[in-house]
Structures are given as C-alpha cells and as structure tokens.
Amino acid sequence: TTFVKVKMFKVKGGAGGGASKSKSKAHGSTLQTKTVAHEASADVLVRLRSVLRDANTGNDRDLLASLTPFCLFQRNNLDVALKCHPGARLSKDVGAHKIKALLNKVGYDCAEDRVADMREPASRMIVVTDNKTNDVVAAAHVRVSLQGELIGAMAGDPCLIVLELAVDPTYQRKGLGKHMMSALELSARKHGLDHLMLCASDEVEAVARAFVNSKLKGFVDDATWAGDGEALMSKALVAPTVKAVASPVATAAPAKDVAMKEEASPESVLERADVEEKETLSMPQPVQLKFDFGPVGGTGECQEEDDEDETDRLMDELCEMYEAQHGTAPTEEVLAQWRATLADAARDAA
C-alpha cells in the first residue's frame, strides 16, 4: 500500500475525513488536500513512477522530452516555446507570481492556492513563454496519476490529467491552446497512458467546454471521475477491447452447486458476453492521432479514418513553423528527424 496526497478542487461546504483545508481570502473558496491509501498493483505503480522519474538517476523526467518539434509554436503571428518544469522547481525556474497572474487573467478562482498545489513534486507544469518578450503567456498544470485522483479514490486507469489550462487573452484564438493539448496527448501516448483528462472548475467550465467542442476531438463528459464543483472531459487513448469468452468445460457438479452451474452455463455466459460486447461497442470511439503507439484492437494500427486528416494537420503545422522560421521548406533530413521522433514515441509506448 502506498499513501499519496490527493488534491480536490473547490469543495463547497465543510470537508470531512481529516482533510487539511486552505481558503483564499479574495474568494472564500476552499481547496482540500487529503491523504488516501493507494491500493494499486505493483506494475501500475512502477508504470506511473517511470513516467515521472528516471529509475537510474532519480531525476524528474521531462514530459516533452523527444517531442522537440512540438515545443515551438510559430504561426498566426506567435513565436512561443513550450517547456516542462517539475512542480518543485516552479518558483525557481519560472516564478510562481507569473503563473498566478496568468490564472487571474483568465478567470480562475483561488489562484494562490492553485499555485501552491502546482509546487508539489507530483505536479508538472507546461509553461509557454514568448520568445521575443520572455513573458509567460500560457501554462498547463498536469499530473500523471489514476483516473480517480480527483475524487480521492486511487482507482481507474493510468492517465494524464490536465488540472488547469490557461492562455493569455492576447494569445487566444490563434491555435496555441489546441497545440498545447496536442503536445500533451502525444506525450500521454508516448508514455503508454490510457486516457487524457481535462478538468474544468465551475468558474471556467463554460469557456473550457466551448474550447473542447470547437477545437478538440474525441473528448466526452466523464461524470464518473469528476470532483465536486468541476466538470471533467476525457479522451480514451486506447481502443476498448471485447472480452473473450472461454469455451465452457462440461464437468459433473453436485446438486448443491446447481445454482452456480446455471449461472456459469453456456447460455448465461454467452448472454452476459453479448451484453458486455454491445455495451463495449456502443462506447464512444475517440478519434486518435495517426501514430502507431502500440496495438489497437490487436492490429497495431489506428482504425479511425479521421486519423489521416489529423496527421496531415500536424505535419502541415510543423512545416509552416519551419518555413516561418527559416524562410524555406524543411529538407528531407528535417522531415526524417520528425518521423524519427514519432517512431521513438511509438517504440516507447510499445
């Protein structure tokens, strides 16, 4: 059993369970932090730990490592760079006051408490700076965890949770927020995580929903794992699989096991399997980027036709950024480097 700290946004009313609470004087809202037992399997813990830290050196991992082509955004009159920072180094590397000012600009409540949560070792900050002014113009607070973190239940599948996403109003409507989410999705796939989740507290929910509905693909409302006072939108990064039904083996059973036998009879097993299959196949199928990040449905290939359009869009974006910076089209050598980056991501995920 591992004990972990779990953050829960903006609790309305009192909080029980011995949780520690802090209040923002400006807004009077409450942020709750509590310690819960994490009964995850050893392989899941190792998997999550390996995403965050290098097993050999113990150093924090850069979630954007090997994704260099996506760490520069030069289009629509923007020239900005994305960089990943460990939460514990936020104040030293970036300046917590800059992140707080950005959150206030876009309407986040409890900015001071949110920044304090960003400083925790488990947090990662994707900070976007203007290459000309060095100003912080966008940021994303993310965690590598399990789906249940927001409700204090360390359960569910490994995922990348985007707790806050903020873009300076001057830099909005130019594709930067969508680019950041694309980079985070690629990072999640590279590290073999099962879901990408975007959290939106009530004060920014309307804006967040409009952004997701107009700019992103494959996200659905996820009420199962949403915490109090916030909406949660989730995208599955692996295709659901239909459970295989083992062939029933005829064995003699005593009279007292008749009920158990009937429950496990071929008819009942097939009936349950049919229901499970229908439920599985009726699940919304997310549109995935056209990158082969391991087996999908046993074929190792993406199945959605829209994947090609998404891949073309990303490659066009990279070419446009390159042409804007160098004044010429990328060479075959540069294109090969981009392909190698995506291939490395695929091998890491596999």
* Contact (Cβ atoms closer than 8 angstroms) between residue 249 and residue 232: no
- Going 146 to 149 to 151 to 152, the CA torsion angle's sign is positive
* DSSP structural state of residue 144: E
The three-state secondary structure class of 249 is coil
The three-state secondary structure class of 226 is coil
Give pLDDT, residue 239: 67
Give pLDDT, residue 7: 44
* Contact (Cβ atoms closer than 8 angstroms) between residue 50 and residue 85: no
- Phi and psi for 267 in degrees, rounded to 5? -65, -45
Give pLDDT, residue 241: 54
Tens of pLDDT, residue by residue, the chain (350 residues): 444 444 443 333 333 333 333 333 333 444 444 444 445 577 787 888 888 888 888 889 999 998 988 999 999 999 999 999 999 898 889 988 899 999 999 988 877 788 888 988 889 999 999 999 999 999 999 999 999 988 888 789 999 999 999 999 999 999 999 999 999 999 999 999 999 999 998 889 999 999 999 999 999 999 999 988 889 999 999 866 554 444 444 444 444 444 443 443 343 433 444 444 445 444 444 433 334 333 334 444 444 445 555 556 666 677 777 776 677 777 877 777 777 776 666 566 55
Beta strands 230-236; 220-221: pairing state: antiparallel
Give pLDDT, residue 347: 63
Q: How many helices (H) and strands (E) does the chain have?
A: 10, 11
Give pLDDT, residue 20: 32
Give pLDDT, residue 324: 67
Give pLDDT, residue 346: 59
Give pLDDT, residue 257: 45
Give pLDDT, residue 50: 85
pTM of the model as a whole: 0.63
* Per-residue exposure over 139-157, b if at least 16 CB sit within 10 Å of its own CB, e if not: bbbbbbbbbbbbbbebebe
Residue labelled with tokens 């936020």? 90
